Amino acid sequence: MHGAVTLIVALVWISGSVFAFFAIFDALRHSGAEWAAIGQSRIVWLVLLVVGLAGGLFTILSVVYWLRVSPKLYAAGRATA
Output the pLDDT for position 71: 96
34-54 pLDDT, tens digit per residue, is 999 999 999 999 999 988 877
Range of the domain at 15: 2-80
What residues contact 49, with CB distance under 8 A and at least 6 apart? 20, 23, 24, 27, 58, 61, 62, 65
Q: How many domains does the chain have?
A: 1
What residues contact 73, with CB distance under 8 A and at least 6 apart? 26, 30, 34, 35, 38
Phi, psi (deg, nearest 5) at residue 57: -95, 20
Output the pLDDT for position 61: 86
Q: Which amino acid is at 73?
A: L
